[in-house]
Amino acid sequence: MTRATQHISLLFILSSVYLATFLGLIPLPKKVQSEIIPVLPFWAIVSFGAYLLFSLGWGVLTFKDTEKAFDELVLEIDEAKRDLRAKGVDVD
Q: Are residues 7 and 18 in the same domain?
A: yes
Amino acid 74: pLDDT: 92
Rounded CA-CA distance 12/5 in Å is 10
**Full domain range(s) for residue 51:** 1-61
Q: Are residues 2 and 25 in the same domain?
A: yes
Q: Are residues 39 and 67 in the same domain?
A: no
- For 25-80, the pLDDT digits (tens) are 999 999 999 999 999 999 999 999 999 999 999 988 887 667 788 889 999 999 99
**What is the number of structural domains in the chain?**
2
Amino acid 64: pLDDT: 67
Q: Work out the end-to-end distance of the chain between its first and last CA atoms, rounded to an integer number of angstroms.
A: 51
Q: Are residues 41 and 82 in the same domain?
A: no
Prediction pTM value: 0.59
Rounded CA-CA distance 70/77 in Å is 11
- Residue 37: which residues within 8 A CB-CB, separation 6 or more? 18, 21, 22, 28
Q: Are residues 45 and 70 in the same domain?
A: no
Q: Are residues 51 and 13 in the same domain?
A: yes
- For 15-29, the pLDDT digits (tens) are 999 999 999 999 999
Amino acid 47: pLDDT: 97
Q: Are residues 52 and 82 in the same domain?
A: no
